[in-house]
Amino acid sequence: MQSRPRVVIVGGGISGLATAHFMHRRLGAGVQLTLVEGGMRLGGKVATQEFSGHLVDTGPDALLVRAPKMAALLADLGLDDQTVAPAVQGAHVWSRGRLRRLPQGTLFGVPERLLPLLRSHLLSPAGLARAALDLVLPRRPTVSHDPSIADLVGPRLGSQVFDRLVEPLLGGVHAGRAGELSARSMWGSRRSAAGG
């Protein structure tokens, strides 16, 4: 009698849990799954903690529900009725001593317009002046290597835009440092997620 194949999944974060779910759905009783987690809880970096009287998501706090594959996974897990749209209260960032609402017209933290950024009080006057320089800086040649998000945003908009807008948003979604995230990989993941 042939024994079932055994698969050990190391790590009970979102990737490990998603892998276990996929393998169980695909192979069912045909495989023996073991999930090993070194921490005290499953979920990896996904957590909610209290900070200054507010509940704050401290790991990846959002998912792209409009992507058909994500919507199908949520339905398969029975979680589709538990998703909450983040636009209800708006997104906020802790900056300059208090929580401040993200300005309208930002794409992953990169401001598209200067006036909403000015009204948000997220940046100091020097940070605003530095961000405004993007309007007059010459276009940079395309880099041949794989730049990080910081390599692209910092020289154009300055450190305050990167530290106070881009880093919190991309770090929150990807549970990583934006200075270490590949710009090309990020662009590719956004395009494939939008297309399903």
The yes-or-no verdict on residue 37 having pLDDT over 90 is yes
User: Is 87-195 in CATH node 1.10.1760.20?
Assistant: no
Task: Specify the amino acid at residue 52.
Answer: S
The yes-or-no verdict on residue 190 having pLDDT over 70 is no
Residues 171 and 160: their CA atoms lie apart, in Å, by 15
Report the relative pairing of strands 32-36 and 6-10 from DSSP bridges.
Answer: parallel
Dihedral sign, Cα of residue 101, residue 163, residue 105, residue 184: negative
Residues 97 and 109: their CA atoms lie apart, in Å, by 19
Give the tens place of pLDDT for each residue, 62-108: 666 777 887 888 888 888 887 776 655 667 777 778 888 888 877 77
Judge contact between 192 and 129, C-beta under 8 A.
no
pTM of the model: 0.56
SS3 (DSSP) at 107: strand
Instruction: Indicate the domain borders of the chain.
Output: 1-44, 87-195
Residues 62 and 85: their CA atoms lie apart, in Å, by 9
CA dihedral 104, 106, 109, 114 (to 10 degrees): -80
**Two structure tokens written together for 84:** 């909450």
86 phi, psi to nearest 5 deg: -70, -15
